[in-house]
């Protein structure tokens, strides 16, 4: 599979309760209600769209990050996968996953995560890491390919300069 594009990085830290609010993590139904729809349906759709677009919660599908225009930042757009990997590493190390008290492994090691990411990012596959921290916060890190294989109709929120 060949892919040509760039990557956007998105990070979120929050509570498991907020993360579990799946309704806020999915965009509204793909098409707005028809013009003849009742006003309450139109308002409900607009409210859901605004909530999804302005929320910093990670979407259920990584490619939907590209819809959240206000979440993009210039330092989170890369044309080099190695720079994206360095960003993932830094963010992961800033908020590492908790370690189990019984010594068993709760998550795969950072080097395994990076090996996988280095393999798939150049092929246009999104990478998403989610874990609990020692304080029981949740961390979600995503590197999203743009253009996106699964959401080719979503335009780029911030083309590389």
Mean of the per-residue pLDDT values of the chain: 88
> What are 111-148's pLDDT values in tens digits?
999 999 999 999 999 999 999 999 999 999 999 999 99
- Give the pair of three-digit tokens for residue 85: 């990997």
> What are 75-98's pLDDT values in tens digits?
589 999 999 999 999 999 999 999
pLDDT of residue 127: 97
- Which of 105 and 31 is assigned the larger pLDDT? 105
Average pLDDT of the residues in 18-41:
79
Average pLDDT of the residues in 34-38:
78
Whether 107 shows a pLDDT value over 80: the answer reads yes
pLDDT of residue 30: 60
Average pLDDT of the residues in 140-158:
93
Burial call 74-112: b when 16+ CB within 10 Å, e when fewer? eebbbeebeebbebbbebbeebebeeeeeeeeebeeeee
Q: Which residue spans within the chain are E strands per DSSP?
A: 6-14, 77-78, 127-132, 138-146
DSSP 8-state symbol, 143: E
Average pLDDT of the residues in 23-44:
76
pLDDT of residue 74: 45
Q: Give pTM, 2 decimals.
A: 0.86
Torsion angle, alpha carbons of 50, 53, 58, 61, to 10: 100
- Which of 103 and 130 is assigned the larger pLDDT? 130
Whether 73 shows a pLDDT value over 60: the answer reads no
């Amino acid at each position: 599979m060949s892919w040509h594009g760039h990557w956007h990085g998105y990070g979120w830290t929050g509570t498991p309760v907020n993360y579990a609010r799946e309704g806020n993590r999915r965009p509204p139904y793909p098409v707005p209600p028809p013009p003849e729809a009742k006003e309450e349906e139109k308002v409900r759709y607009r409210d859901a769209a605004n909530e999804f677009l302005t929320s910093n919660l990670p979407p259920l599908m990584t490619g939907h990050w590209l819809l959240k225009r206000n979440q993009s930042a210039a330092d989170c757009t890369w044309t080099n996968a190695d720079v994206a990997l360095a960003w993932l590493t830094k963010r992961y190390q800033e908020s590492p996953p908790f370690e189990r008290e019984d010594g068993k492994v709760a998550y795969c090691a950072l080097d395994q995560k990076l090996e996988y990411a280095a393999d798939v990012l150049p092929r246009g596959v999104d990478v998403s890491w989610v874990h609990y921290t020692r304080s029981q916060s949740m961390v979600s890190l995503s590197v999203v390919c743009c253009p996106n294989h699964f959401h080719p109709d979503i335009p780029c929120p911030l083309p590389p300069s």
